[in-house]
Structure formats: structure tokens, C-alpha cells
Structure 1
Amino acid sequence: MFNLNKEFLTKPLLNTTITIQKMIFASIIVLCFFSIVSPPIALLLGILVAQFIGHPFLHLNNKAVQFLLKLSVVGLGFGMNASSALKAGKDGFLFTIFSIVLTFLLGYIVSKLLKTERKTSFLISGGTAICGGSAIAAISPAIKADEKQISVALGTIFILNSIALFIFPFIGQLMDLNASQFGLWCAIAIHDTSSVVGAASKFGAEALEVATTVKLARALWIIPISLVATLIFKNKDSKVKIPYFIGLFIVAMLANSYIPFVNDFSIYITTVAKIGLTITLFLIGGGLSPKVLSSVGIKPLLLGVTLWIFISVISLWVITSMY
């Protein structure tokens, strides 16, 4: 009888709490439609919600992030010029190859020194070298990574990715980087596309164009890296996930550059895309629950920090010296 009464008392309280969570969550998403909430603020709000209120739709978060991110990136393509983007891609091509190889090599060495788990280390290296969570999601089936290994790698990357969104614009201004330099640095040294775009947008349209183009060109390396991973981990049955949304981004960019009437609507499409990106960053922050943060562990985090600092410093030195 006591148990029934206890359930009778606690159930309405639980329902009320969930309702409040949903109301707060929905209210912040609505705020993301207005300029008052910038991408870094959206990410910070998401982190605060995750720590103190709780994500009411956590089971749907990953799918929502992936869908919104891809849609937003394609939308941003309508605001870019093909000629400028091609030049940015060519300028960053050799630099991209060099940084990817160097990151994986350093990741192997540091993981041996720290004695971190092999598959987790490879995922963290891939997320740092290519494009954060997207690379981890693509590589994990190729090496048959389990749920814990994927969670640790994603947690490590998202924590550092969140920090980068706040500190990169500050460092860029401190070092007086121009728009092109800052955009290239973001594309090379920030893990996830969402934070690359969020940080680069603080430096204007040129930085955003360079950052997005170089980052998406970098993301294509998911395909060869996944194929190499199947050989290293001897997994012949794996299927490589091809990032098809990059093709749609290129189509959008070409349409904006060479079809006159598309250009008339591009400003509206890119505005919606930026709102979508802001919401995406809020959802990413909302996914950084205490459980995710505590699951990372000191050694994987130390590996991620070492790789991130190394690639950030080296790329910044090369960019300021050569570009």
C-alpha cells in the first residue's frame, strides 16, 4: 500500500519535471532563431541544459544533429562562390594531406606511450585528423568498434570541439589573423564541421567560405581512411560510409555561382542554414551529459588534447608563415 501511495505521489512530480525540461528545451531552440543567440552561446546553453536540467530527447539527439548539420552545410553552399572555393580548396590540399598523416602518426606514438586502447585511439586520431564526430561515425564500423569505444572517442572530440569554438576566435583576433588565414586554421585544427563553421563565421564571409570548403574537402578523406582501417584491423566485411551531403554542397555552390535566379534566393537559404547550424550546436552541447563526460577517462582525453594542441600549433605556425 505504501509503495502504491509513493508511486501515486512521485509520478505527477516526474511528469511535471519532464514537462518543464521540454518547455525550457523548446524555448532555447526558439531563441536560436534570433541573432541574440550566437553559435558559441547556443553550444554553452546546450552544455548547461545537459548538466543541470537534462536533455528530454536525448535518444533522438544524435540523429537530429547529423540531419541538421548536413542540411545546414548544404544550405551554406548557396552562399558561396565556386571560383573562390576552388582556390581555397587548392591552397589547403597539400596542407590537408600533411596534417592528416602527421596526426595519425603522432596519435599512434602517443597512444603507445599512454597505453590507451587501440581502437579508441584510432577513432580519436581519425576524429582529430579529419572531421570529428562524422569521421568517428564512419570509421567505427570499419574497425568494428564497440559502443564504449565509440562513446569515449566521441566524448573526447566533442569536449575539445566545444572548447575550440570559444577560444579560436579569441586567438585569431589576438594574433591579428586575416579572414583567409583564420578560415584555413579553423578547417585544419577544429574537429567538427559545426564548430568550424561557427568559429569561422565570427571572421566574416571570406573566412566562412575558406573554412567550409577546406573542411568538406578534408571530410572526403573519410573514404580512404576507412578503407585503410579495414586493412589495419582486418575487417573485410565492413561497409564504408560515403559522405553524400558533400556532393549536395557542391551542387548548391555551383547553382549559386552559375544560375542567376538561384542567387536571388541565396541570402534567405543561407540565413536558414545558419539558424540550423546554431540549433545543431545547441543539440551537441545538450548531448554532453555528465554520463558522457565521466565516461571519457583521463588517458583518452590526454591523447585527444595532445593531438589537438599539436595540430593547432603546427597549423597556425605554417599558416602565419606561408599564407
Structure 2
Amino acid sequence: MTQQLTTPTSTPPGGPSNPWPGLAVCTVATAIAMGVHQLLPMASPLLLAIVLGVLVANLRPLGPRFAPGLTVASRPLLRIGVALLGLQLVFGDILGLGPGVIALIVAVVALGIAGTVWIGARLGLSPAQRLLIACGTSICGAAAVAAVDGVIDADDEDVATAIGTVVVFGTMLLGLIPLGVALLNLSPEQGGVWAGASIHEVAQTVAAGGLIGSGALAVAVVVKLGRVLMLAPVMTVISLRRRRGAAPGKRPPLVPLFIVGFLACVALRSAGVVGEPVLAVAGQVQVALLSAAMFALGTGVRVSALRAVGPRPFVLGAAGTVWITGLGLAGAVLVA
């Protein structure tokens, strides 16, 4: 049986309360992750940050004085980062896709989550882990995993595994879907819908849309952002389900506060009151906050615990990716 160690993000009772040492380490890790991303755009800064955290936890664990800052990064900063994701969305662009494509987006997210969760149950994975992977593959990759963690407070090992899984398989789709578009002789619009409905991360979708062609890029991005918008109703449903099973007095809020912030950011962007320079800065801040949160979560991961999980999360990630890709292709052929 694997011995479970105390995670660095757990502040011991009566322990230190100064967050700055932990936040300083998170800042350095975030700068490294984002710097490597600038040199290698294909490398997700969120994945790089969580890998750095895992390396630190297993090679040179951080002491208790870093715990308060790591807790701040992995909880409130994570939620702020997810809320800022809403600044990427404009309601009008998504409504302009038409009822057929909007219905496809809803179906892909709903059926994608349901199917992946069902497969995860057959594989014997924990409810938290299969929900993390299902939402990561069906909505928006690592950001969706972070959002689910913000609602259900999953184990750090489950979060790290889910992020690694969705980033790996989303990156594979980046090359496979443009190849599939060419082999199946799909139109640029169909290719854009397929990419936007299937690929896990927004950045991966942008890259794939560019590979398919200029006619596909705009369609792919808007369809993908439509899936990102589904983050709000999905997180609300998850929160409601948790409330139903929680004891009185310990129930989570009806709608998580960071989801309210997410919707407020969508509304601000849709109203056109946020200028492009602010959006550019906010986009970098959002990535930095989520990267800091991923590093903090990574510091709570033990390789021995990951080994104990085995290959089942990656099998689920592969199966969920195939399921989502099939749904996206069928929908693209039918509605585009």
C-alpha cells in the first residue's frame, strides 16, 4: 500500500500564515513555465507548471513556511484565473454560429461528459478523477480541470493526472484533425467545426485551424469558445449535485462565485467595454494565475501515488478523446 504523505499545500494547525514565500516560489515557477512556452509555443504553460511542481515535490520538497502561499495560489488565484477566461468570449460571435452549430456544441459537451464518465466508471476510476478528465476533454482542457477542482476540491494527484492526460491527447488532435480533414476531403468550414468541437485546449484549436486553412480558423475558434462558455452551466450543475449530497450548513454555493465572475467577464467583453490592450494583458494574467495554481497543485503530488493509479486515467483520456472526436466529426458533417 502506498504511503500518503502530507501535501505541501496543507497548512499545519498553528503553522505559519505568511503567504509571500510560497507565492514567490509560484511566481518563479510561473515565469519559467511561460518563458519556455514563449520558446516552444506547443508546450502548455499549465502543463509545464504542474510538472515543475511535481519535480519540486519529489526532488526537493518545500517546507511548511511555503504552505500558506501555495494554498493561496491553488485556491483563490485559480478561481480568479478561471473567471478571467470569460474575457475571451463574445455572446454575439457564438450566437452567430446558428442554431445547428450551437446545438452541436451543447451535444458535444453533454454527451462527451456523460460518455467519458461512464467509461471511467467501467475502468474503476474514482468519481472525481473521471469527472476531471471528462470535463477537460469535453469543455476546455486544463482550464476546465482547474474549474472542476475549484468546485469539488479533488486530490492533487487526480488534478495533475487529468491535466497531463487532456494536454497530451489534445496535442495529438492538433495534428490528427487537419490530416483527417484532408483525407476525408472536408470543406474548410466543416474542418473548422470539427476542430472546434473536438480539440481540448483553445490554443491547440487555434493551431489546428491555421493548419486546416484560413477559412477554417475563425470557425474553429468560435466553436471552441462556445464550448468554453459551457463551463458555466456545467459547473453550476456539478455544484447543485454536491449541494444535494452535502450536510446542512456545509453546502457549497448554488452557483460558485468564480463562475459568477466568469459570466461577468463574458458580459463585459460582449458589451465592448474592455479595450484590446486590456484584453491582451488580462489574457497573460489569466495564464499566469492558472500556471501558478498548477505549480502549487503539483507540489502536492507524489510520484508513488501516481504510480499506484496506473494507466487507467490515460486509457480514459484516450477513450474520451476518441468519443469527442467522433461526435465532433458527425456534427460537422451534419450541420456545416
- Say yes or no: TM over 0.5: yes
Aligned equivalents of 2:31, 2:110: Cα separation in 1: 43
Aligned equivalents of 1:31, 1:23: Cα separation in 2: 12
Q: Structure 1 counterpart of 2:221, which letter?
A: L
Aligned equivalents of 2:300, 2:290: Cα separation in 1: 17
Q: Shift of residue 44 of structure 1?
A: 5.4
The residue aligned with 1:144 is none
Residue number among 25, 28, 35 corresponding to 2:32 in the alignment: 28
Does the C-alpha gap of structure 1 residues 253 and 90 become closer, same or farther in structure 2, counting only changes over 3 Å? farther
Q: Shift of residue 66 of structure 1?
A: 2.8
Does the C-alpha gap of structure 1 residues 288 and 113 become closer, same or farther in structure 2, counting only changes over 3 Å? same
Residue number among 302, 305, 318 corresponding to 2:317 in the alignment: 305
**Correspondence 1:315 to 2:330:** no
> What percent identity do the matched residue pairs reach?
13
Residue number among 267, 289, 305 corresponding to 1:295 in the alignment: 305
Give the match's secondary structure for 2:43: helix
The residue aligned with 1:219 is 232
Does the C-alpha gap of structure 1 residues 218 and 269 become closer, same or farther in structure 2, counting only changes over 3 Å? same
Aligned equivalents of 1:187, 1:61: Cα separation in 2: 31
1:178-193 pair list within 5 angstroms: 178=188, 181-182=191-192, 185-186=195-196, 188-190=198-200
Tell whether the 8 Å contact from 1:156 to 1:301 is kept in structure 2 after alignment: yes
The residue aligned with 1:113 is 122
Q: Structure 2 counterpart of 1:159, which letter?
A: G
Tell whether the 8 Å contact from 1:43 to 1:285 is kept in structure 2 after alignment: yes
Aligned equivalents of 1:253, 1:24: Cα separation in 2: 30
Does the C-alpha gap of structure 1 residues 30 and 163 become closer, same or farther in structure 2, counting only changes over 3 Å? closer
1:201-259 CA distance string (max 9 Å, x none): 3346723333223321353232234434555x576745333411332233223322xxx
Aligned equivalents of 2:129, 2:47: Cα separation in 1: 26
Q: Which runs of 5+ in 1 are unaligned?
A: 1-17, 141-146, 191-195, 257-261
Residue number among 95, 98, 102 corresponding to 2:111 in the alignment: 102
The residue aligned with 1:241 is 255
The residue aligned with 2:176 is 171
**Correspondence 1:68 to 2:81:** yes
Aligned equivalents of 1:253, 1:53: Cα separation in 2: 38
Residue number among 147, 152, 161 corresponding to 1:156 in the alignment: 161
Aligned equivalents of 2:290, 2:151: Cα separation in 1: 22
Tell whether the 8 Å contact from 2:54 to 2:301 is kept in structure 1 after alignment: no
Does the C-alpha gap of structure 1 residues 67 and 309 become closer, same or farther in structure 2, counting only changes over 3 Å? same
Q: Shift of residue 41 of structure 1?
A: 5.1
Aligned equivalents of 2:121, 2:113: Cα separation in 1: 12
The residue aligned with 1:46 is 49
Does the C-alpha gap of structure 1 residues 162 and 288 become closer, same or farther in structure 2, counting only changes over 3 Å? farther
Tell whether the 8 Å contact from 1:46 to 1:285 is kept in structure 2 after alignment: yes
The residue aligned with 2:267 is 251
Q: Structure 1 counterpart of 2:234, which letter?
A: W
Tell whether the 8 Å contact from 2:133 to 2:162 is kept in structure 1 after alignment: yes
Aligned equivalents of 2:160, 2:148: Cα separation in 1: 11
1:2-30 CA distance string (max 9 Å, x none): xxxxxxxxxxxxxxxx9x96785365377
Residue number among 71, 76, 79 corresponding to 1:59 in the alignment: 71
Aligned equivalents of 1:60, 1:172: Cα separation in 2: 38
**Correspondence 1:269 to 2:278:** yes
Aligned equivalents of 1:208, 1:97: Cα separation in 2: 16
Tell whether the 8 Å contact from 2:50 to 2:298 is kept in structure 1 after alignment: yes
Instruction: Give the structure-1-normalised TM-score.
Output: 0.65
1:59-85 CA distance string (max 9 Å, x none): 3332323323422x24334xx5x5322
